[in-house]
Amino acid sequence: MKSSDKMKIGVLYGGRSGEHNVSLCSAASVVSALDQDKYEVIAIGIDKDGRWYVQDKAEIVPNKDFGQILSLKKRGKWLVNHFEQENKLHVYNIENNNEEVIVDIVFPVLHGTYGEDGTMQGLLELAMVPYVGADVAGSAVGMDKDIAKRLLKEADIPVVPSITISKHQWEVNSGIIIQDALCTLGMPLFVKPLCTGSSVGVNKVKTKELLPEAIAFAFQFDTRIMIEKAIDCREIECAILGNENPSASILGEIIPNHEFYSYEAKYIDPNGAAIKIPADIDETLADLIRTAAVKGYRALACSSLARVDFFLDKNSNEFYLNEINTLPGFTSVSMYPKLWEASGLKYSDLLDKLIALALERHRNKMNVKTEMFS
Ligand SMILES: Nc1ncnc2c1ncn2[C@@H]1O[C@H](COP(=O)(O)OP(=O)(O)O)[C@@H](O)[C@H]1O
Ligand SMILES: [Mg+2]
């Protein structure tokens, strides 16, 4: 295939997020596995301030924390634009005679805020360009642990008891909030920001005295936070793939070597956690969890892909859906692609499938009328 006939995939990575570096690492794997015979890869790095930089070439470099990352070089001043009905994304370098890059489909390999939360998806919808991953609504509710929990409850999916508070409520009512948390949830507790990922801002609290500190810490990362009953649990994950008829992978287990699956256990300590695929779980229970994963995916209006994470109570064997990640870690050793690999779908085929799903959803959306009489 000639270079001009190839589909131009814009891989977006980095971004204004606590998971910026993780994204550089996921993007390195995606870029190296995209089939160069079918696709022309255009790497577009977004810095921590949200500025876009089209890269001269997608360059994978060694990194001490993550092994390999996609480098992000800041060259030029790029603006994003689109032309109505053209279904392509245009990016210009206004410092270089409006040098222009045109993208047919976007793969936002972005985790967390301004990438996984519906904001980037909104921009791509306005540009009418096909993109991989959940759309605006699915991304936004998947990112918000409180809204997600309410939708999951409505779908009769078990979730961990919790209370959600805003910064303002905390400032005016801290005493009542602490009492309420202790009475309704007991101890130990988990405190977490509503809209982060990678365990950023998450703490386990074992005594009443340490609760205010954990709450203040979580408020550094969000204006609303969740106080949740701590479950003595195994952590089970399921990969979902599909639009209208999503399939569930076999289950995997994360076995942290830390008090919980913290940021340190995830990314800093090389022995922070072990992954076990398939998870050692009774078949009937595994099927119930996989069914709940698909149900949860639908309840949150997800499409394309998501990794659905569960807590399995070690004592009662009851499970709870903890969260749905709409752009999960995507390195070749991350749980999401590993689960598909173990279910018979190899990494590069998974990328092909995601691109096909993005195009399918885009076609369906483009067939929807925006006005009555046209
Ligand atoms: N209620 C809970 N009970 C037990 N462990 C929890 C609880 N909430 C969070 N954790 C631990 O903290 C980790 C990160 O929390 P999580 O809610 O998944 O946030 P994130 O979106 O940052 O991954 C979990 O993987 C788990 O190890
Ligand atoms: Mg998590």
Which CATH number characterizes residue 70's domain? Answer: 3.40.50.20
Interatomic CA distance for residues 147 and 226, integer angstroms = 11
pLDDT for the residue 65: 78
Please state the domain count of the chain.
3
User: Is ligand 1 within 6 A of the CB of residue 320?
Assistant: no
Instruction: Answer yes or no: are the C-beta atoms of 214 and 203 closer than 8 Å.
Output: yes
Q: Which position has the token pair 């069914």?
A: 291
pLDDT for the residue 41: 97
Same structural domain, 219 and 239: no
User: Is ligand 1 within 6 A of the CB of residue 160?
Assistant: yes
- State which ligand 1 atom lies nearest to the alpha carbon of 309: 18
Interatomic CA distance for residues 164 and 301, integer angstroms = 22
Domain range for residue 197? Answer: 162-229
- State which ligand 1 atom lies nearest to the alpha carbon of 199: 22
Q: Do the domain assignments include residue 266?
A: yes
Instruction: Answer yes or no: are the C-beta atoms of 234 and 285 closer than 8 Å.
Output: no
Same structural domain, 166 and 178: yes
User: Is ligand 1 within 6 A of the CB of residue 46?
Assistant: no
Q: Coil, helix or strand for 205?
A: strand
Whole-number Cα distances in Å, 214 to 192, 257, 361 = 8, 21, 41
Name the residue among 210, 209, 199, 186 with its Cα closest to residue 323: 199
Nearest CA to ligand 1 atom 1: 230
Cis peptide before 328 (omega within 30 of 0): no
pLDDT for the residue 280: 97
> 7-14 and 105-109: which strand pairing?
parallel
Among the bound ligands, name the one nearest to the CA of residue 226.
1
Q: How far is the CA of 203 from the centre of ligand 1 (A)?
A: 9
Q: What are residue 326's phi and psi, to 5 degrees?
A: -85, -20
User: Is ligand 1 within 6 A of the CB of residue 322?
Assistant: yes
Whole-number Cα distances in Å, 369 to 328, 365, 366 = 32, 9, 8
Interatomic CA distance for residues 239 and 231, integer angstroms = 22
User: Is ligand 1 within 6 A of the CB of residue 228?
Assistant: yes
Written as one letter, the residue type at 114 is: Y
Domain containing 349 — which CATH number?
Answer: 3.30.470.20
Same structural domain, 122 and 9: yes
pLDDT for the residue 274: 94
Contacts of 97 (CB under 8 A, 6+ apart): none
Written as one letter, the residue type at 132 is: V
Domain's final residue, options 199, 229, 259: 229
Mean pLDDT, the chain cut into blocks of 10 residues (374 residues total): 81 94 95 95 97 95 89 93 78 89 96 94 93 97 97 98 97 96 97 90 96 97 96 98 97 96 88 95 97 98 98 97 96 94 96 98 89 78
Among the bound ligands, name the one nearest to the CA of residue 314.
1
User: Is ligand 1 within 6 A of the CB of residue 199?
Assistant: yes
Q: Token digits for 238?
A: 């399921």
For 15-39, b/e burial (b = at least 16 CB within 10 A) is: bbbbbbbbbbbbbbbbbbbbeeeeb
Q: Do the domain assignments include residue 24?
A: yes
Whole-number Cα distances in Å, 249 to 75, 187, 208, 277, 335 = 41, 34, 40, 11, 11
